[in-house]
């Protein structure tokens, strides 16, 4: 008999819509409370709680996880994955149901939690470790290992505000990876660009699991899920849709949501009008994906569903980085397209962007009439190794491989 | 909707089995779960240590601020309240009186403010990692004690200059400071959770502190209050703290024993209700921040 690590029974979490908004006006609450007795006096009961003001971020979720399992949790944005992790880590409490947790829980809901820019790497290791539940003695014992794993070596006594974000993440992950909780919850931390470090993290997580510890891993990157997890739970609209072997559930998820190609109407009234349905990219000799891993040629394809014939179509393409800066834009004029699905492809010799997440915004026009503007829900991921300046501020937005050499000048005009 | 987690021992008395934590939505009013708090005590040390490390970074005179603030205020009080207005100072030289009352007051005002804002200011941590939230206000009121300790050394210097001999009862001073710590924590517990949901608190807090300043014996001794109002005046725990601290260090005046008793009782009430209210609301903190 295997030992259970997590037993969740009917976990439910209700949020008030806008319940996470920053400011609740005190006067509304006070007003409500003051008015309540008068409503009762008038013989009226309090107005029934309208269902549209609340929603269930988790709705009757039950599952067991055995000790030592690596379970991936997948689902669209807002499906309830993060809420589930937050309930399991006790950051927030369930509205109904319960979960039994066997042992200490460590979490990586966002790396670098509590990192203070004015503290040095060393000081942050201690503070962060403390927050994550390590004792000072534990950190003392593992300090060298952590620093070595993070590859920050000589910068360990530099204040963290001078670190590149990559270095910060490495250090933060290193601290968390050396936690020794029985259960480790990881949310999307490995989306940080540096592929080499990502692999190292994945290896580390595998090792951790082999030691008998349990890992729940939330990610949008199906490759990572495939590589790391034995079992996958697919969460949709707060409930478990599928729970089974990783390969099967991930494939089902991909074909259902067309995750890698960004299928989906994105909430627009898409019926009966010309609109974009999906996008993908293909590296030379590669599969359709949403991730750039090399500096080679890449073809970006947008699928356009044309409703009525285009005579003088015009397509606009914009690519934004995660901070919303436009990093690339282009357009094509004079498109003549018959009704039906069309693939509009752009082949570029390379797209040397800095590792990270990017978003497409594409539009289609007939003359000056806008037919569709599409914010692609699936992001473009760039996962090449960073070869830029190690301080973010000086790294720029491109990631271009180069050769560097020095030699005596042979140009006599310079002398 | 509220919930809490309780630790219970593994059902099987097996050594290798880790303890089971049950996560569930329950709401006991009297469930302080102090054992869990105790298990996390080292985190208090980490928070306090971080605050002390960060506090005077990139400042020019550093920890000297701890002394300069009460000292400068004392000079102003001596000139205006003692000099121009001629307010009584209970038989003590003006500078000694004001400095001795300002020490516990400055600590209290600072501690209440930081404790009130601690959940909001640390929301990056609070919404990402679990630990007993009680850790936050408790950690917030402690770093101020270091400033207080530094500033206290100057008090004894001042007393020597003005010919006031430190009283034998000085050893009692920490007791009164503990009362101040308790008061600040009690108030901080109440206000910090309210502040997490309603940022109105943040705006109101300077006013609360200012009003509290006037109803505490900082610029006048408590015996200036008509005796008929004295008991009500003593309901403010800071009355006992400030009077007691001043008396214990200087030995001037009578021991304010009844005042201190009332104050101490109020501290206990504040702390107890504050802790219960905090525990009751803390389960929602991550949702409302």
What per-residue confidence (pLDDT) applies to A224?
73
* % of chain A exceeding 90 in pLDDT: 18
Contact B125 A109 (CB under 8 A): no
CA nearest to A103 within chain B:
B18
- The token pair that represents B286 in the structure block: 């991550």
Write down which residue in A209, A236, A259 finishes a domain: A259
Cβ–Cβ gap B287/A99 under 8 Å:
no
Instruction: Give a yes or no: residue B61 inside a domain.
Output: yes
Query: Pairing relation of β-strands A214-218 and A70-74?
Result: parallel
List CB contacts (< 8 A) between B280 and chain A: none
Is residue B219 within 8 A of residue B85, CB to CB? The reply is no
Look at chain A and report how many structural domains it folds into: 2
Q: What percent of chain B has pLDDT over 70?
A: 91
Q: Judge if A248 and A318 occupy the same domain.
A: no
Q: What is the average per-residue pLDDT within B263-288?
A: 86
As a whole number, the mean pLDDT across chain B is 84
Smallest CA-to-CA distance from A318 within A308, A309, A328 is with: A328
CA angle A165, A166, A172 (to 5 degrees): 85
Structural domain contains residue A39? no
A240 and A339 together in one domain: no
Residues of B in contact with A32 (CB under 8 A): none
Strands A105-108 and A70-74: unpaired
Look up the domain containing B259 and give its range: 34-288
Task: Provide the CATH number for the domain around residue A356.
Answer: 2.70.50.60
Domain final position from A242, A259, A276: A259
Q: Tell me, yes or no, whether B6 lies in a domain.
A: no
The H or E element spanning position A328 is strand A326-337
In a domain, B27, yes or no: no
CA B47 to chain centre: 16
For A67-108, list the strands marked E by DSSP: 70-74, 96-102, 105-108
Residue B20 within a domain: no
Rounded distance, CA B215 to CA B218, Å? 9
Residue contacts between A and B (CB atoms, under 8 Å): 126
> Which whole-number Å values give the CA distances from B88 to A141, B82, B84, in the listed order?
59, 7, 12
Q: Using an 8 Å CB-CB cutoff, list chain A residues near B53.
A: 118-119, 123
Q: Which of A209, A229, A259 is the last residue of a domain?
A: A259
Nearest residue of chain B to residue A88 (CA atoms): B23
| A114 to B288: CB separation less than 8 angstroms, yes or no | no
Give the nearest chain A residue to B136 (CA atoms): A131
What is the ipTM score, two decimals? 0.76
Separation of alpha carbons B68 and A364, rounded Å? 66
> Residue A343 has which token pair?
């693939």
Residue at A345 is within a domain: yes
The 10s digit of each residue's pLDDT in A52-82 is 567 888 999 999 999 889 999 988 877 888 8
B231: pLDDT strictly greater than 50: yes
Half-sphere exposure of A381 (CA within 13 A, CB side): 22
Measure CB to CB from residue B53 to each of A104, A123, A132 and give the nearest one: A123
- A412 lies in some domain: no
Question: Over the stretch B134-164, which tens digit does the pLDDT of each residue have?
Answer: 999 999 999 999 999 999 999 989 988 988 8
pLDDT of residue A258: 52
**Whole-number pLDDT of residue A36:** 54
CB contact under 8 A, A99 and B197: no
Residue A301 lies in a domain: yes
Closest residue in A to B199 (Cα–Cα): A23
Q: What sign does the dihedral A274-A279-A281-A287 (CA atoms) show?
A: negative
Nearest to B287 among A19, A23, A107 (CB): A19
Tell me A340's DSSP state: E
pLDDT of residue A185: 85
Residue A24 has pLDDT above 80, yes or no: no
B129–A136 CB contact, under 8 Å: no
Same domain, A219 and A109: yes
pLDDT of residue B3: 39
Which of A88, A90, A130 is facing B42, going by the closest CB pair?
A: A130
How many Å apart are CA A125 and CA A15, to the nearest integer? Answer: 34
Q: Is residue B94, in this structure, part of any structural domain at all?
A: yes
Same domain, A117 and A196: yes
Instruction: Look at strands A54-66 and A298-306 and give their pairing.
Output: unpaired
> What pLDDT, on the 0 to 100 scale, is given for residue B31?
63
Kindly identify which residue of chain A lies nearest to residue B56, measuring between CA atoms: A118
CA nearest to B21 within chain A? A101
Which comes out higher in pLDDT, residue B61 or A215?
Answer: A215
- Residues of chain B with Cβ-Cβ distance to A6 below 8 Å are none
Q: Measured between CB atoms, which of A22, A25, A130 is closest to B46?
A: A130
CA distance A171 to B187: 37
The answer to whether residue A204 sits within a structural domain is yes
Same domain, A112 and A236: yes
- Verify that A100 and A155 share a domain, yes or no: yes
Q: How many domains does chain B have?
A: 1
Which residues of A170-238 form beta strands (DSSP E)?
Answer: 183-187, 214-218, 231-236
Chain A residues with CB-CB distance to B126 below 8 A:
91
Q: What is the CATH number of the domain that holds A179?
A: 3.40.50.300
Would residue A46 count as lying in a domain? no
Query: Which one of A15, A130, A159, A160 makes the best mutation probe of the B interface by having the most chain B beta carbons within 10 Å?
Result: A130
Full domain range(s) for residue A183: 4-9+57-259
Same domain? For A123 and A251 the reply is: yes
Q: Which of A18, A26, A93, A134 to mutate to test the interface with B (most CBs of B within 10 A)?
A: A93
- Asked if A250 and A280 sit in the same domain, the reply is no
**Per-residue pLDDT, B272:** 92
Q: Would you say residue B12 lies in a domain?
A: no
Q: Same domain, yes or no, for A202 and A271?
A: no
Same domain, A233 and A274: no
Q: Which residue has the higher pLDDT, B99 or A375?
A: B99
The owner of tokens 């009757």 is A60
Strands A214-218 and A183-187, how do they pair? Answer: parallel
pTM, two decimals, is 0.70
Asked, for residue A161, whether it belongs to a domain, the answer is yes
Closest Cβ–Cβ partner in A89, A94, A119 for B25: A94
> Looking at residues A390-414, what average pLDDT do you find?
79
């Amino acid at each position: 008999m295997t030992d259970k690590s997590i037993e969740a029974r009917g976990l439910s979490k209700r949020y008030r819509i806008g319940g996470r908004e920053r400011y609740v006006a005190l006067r509304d609450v006070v007003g409500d409370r003051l008015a309540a007795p008068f409503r009762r006096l008038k013989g009226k009961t309090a107005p029934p709680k309208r269902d549209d003001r609340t929603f269930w971020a988790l709705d009757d979720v039950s599952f067991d996880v055995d000790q030592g399992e690596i379970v991936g949790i997948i689902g669209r944005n807002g499906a309830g994955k993060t809420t589930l992790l937050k309930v399991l880590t006790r950051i927030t409490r369930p509205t109904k149901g319960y979960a039994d947790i066997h042992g200490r829980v460590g979490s990586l809901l966002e790396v670098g939690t509590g990192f203070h820019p004015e503290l040095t790497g060393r000081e942050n290791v201690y503070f962060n470790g403390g927050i994550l539940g390590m004792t000072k003695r534990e950190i003392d014992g593992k300090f060298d290992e952590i620093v070595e794993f993070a590859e920050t070596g000589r910068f360990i006594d530099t204040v963290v505000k001078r670190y590149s974000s990559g270095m910060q993440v490495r250090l933060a992950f290193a601290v968390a990876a050396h936690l020794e909780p029985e259960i480790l919850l990881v949310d999307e931390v490995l989306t940080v660009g540096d592929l080499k470090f990502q692999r190292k993290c994945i290896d580390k997580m595998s090792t951790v699991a082999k030691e008998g510890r349990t890992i729940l891993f939330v990610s949008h990157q199906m490759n990572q899920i495939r590589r790391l997890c034995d079992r996958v739970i697919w969460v949709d609209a707060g409930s478990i849709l599928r729970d089974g072997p990783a390969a099967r559930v991930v494939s089902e998820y991909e074909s259902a949501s067309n995750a890698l190609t960004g299928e989906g109407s994105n909430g627009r009234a898409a019926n009966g009008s010309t609109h974009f349905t999906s996008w993908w990219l293909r590296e030379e000799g590669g599969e359709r994906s949403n991730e750039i891993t090399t500096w080679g040629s890449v073809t970006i394809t947008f699928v356009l569903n044309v409703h009525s014939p285009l005579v003088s179509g015009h397509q606009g393409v914009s690519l934004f980085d995660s901070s919303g800066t436009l990093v690339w834009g282009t357009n094509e004029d004079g498109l003549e397209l018959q009704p039906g699905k069309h693939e509009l492809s752009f082949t570029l010799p390379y797209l040397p962007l800095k590792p990270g997440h990017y978003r497409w915004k594409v539009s289609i026009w007939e003359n000056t009439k806008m037919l569709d503007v599409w914010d692609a829900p699936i992001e473009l991921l760039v996962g090449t190794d960073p070869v830029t300046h190690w301080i973010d501020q000086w790294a720029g937005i491109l990631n271009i491989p180069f050769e560097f050499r020095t030699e005596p000048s042979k140009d006599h005009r310079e002398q | 909707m509220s919930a809490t987690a309780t630790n219970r021992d593994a059902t099987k008395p097996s050594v290798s089995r880790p303890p089971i934590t049950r996560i569930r939505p329950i709401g006991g009013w009297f469930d302080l779960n102090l054992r869990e708090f105790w298990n996390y005590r080292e985190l208090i040390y980490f928070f306090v240590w971080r605050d002390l490390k960060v506090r005077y970074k990139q400042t020019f005179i550093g920890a000297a601020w701890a002394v300069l603030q009460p000292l400068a205020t004392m000079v102003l009080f001596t000139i205006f309240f003692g000099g121009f207005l001629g307010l009584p100072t209970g038989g003590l030289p003006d500078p000694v009186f004001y400095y001795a009352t300002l020490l516990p007051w400055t600590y209290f005002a600072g501690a209440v403010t930081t404790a009130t804002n601690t959940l909001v200011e640390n929301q990056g941590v609070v919404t990402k990692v679990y630990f007993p939230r009680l850790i936050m206000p408790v950690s917030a009121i402690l770093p101020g004690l270091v400033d207080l300790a530094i500033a206290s050394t100057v008090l004894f210097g001042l007393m020597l200059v003005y010919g006031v001999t430190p009283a034998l009862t000085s050893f009692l001073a920490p007791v009164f400071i503990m009362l101040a710590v308790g008061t600040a924590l009690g108030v901080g517990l109440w206000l910090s959770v309210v502040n997490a949901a309603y940022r109105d608190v943040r705006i109101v807090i300077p006013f609360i502190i200012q009003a509290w300043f006037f109803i505490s014996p900082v610029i006048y001794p408590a015996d200036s209050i008509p005796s008929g109002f004295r008991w009500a005046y003593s309901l403010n725990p800071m009355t006992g703290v400030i009077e007691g601290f001043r008396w214990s260090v200087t030995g001037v005046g009578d021991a304010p024993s009844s005042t201190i008793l009332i104050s101490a009782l109020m501290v206990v009430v504040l702390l107890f209700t504050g802790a219960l209210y905090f525990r009751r609301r803390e389960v929602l903190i991550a949702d409302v921040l």
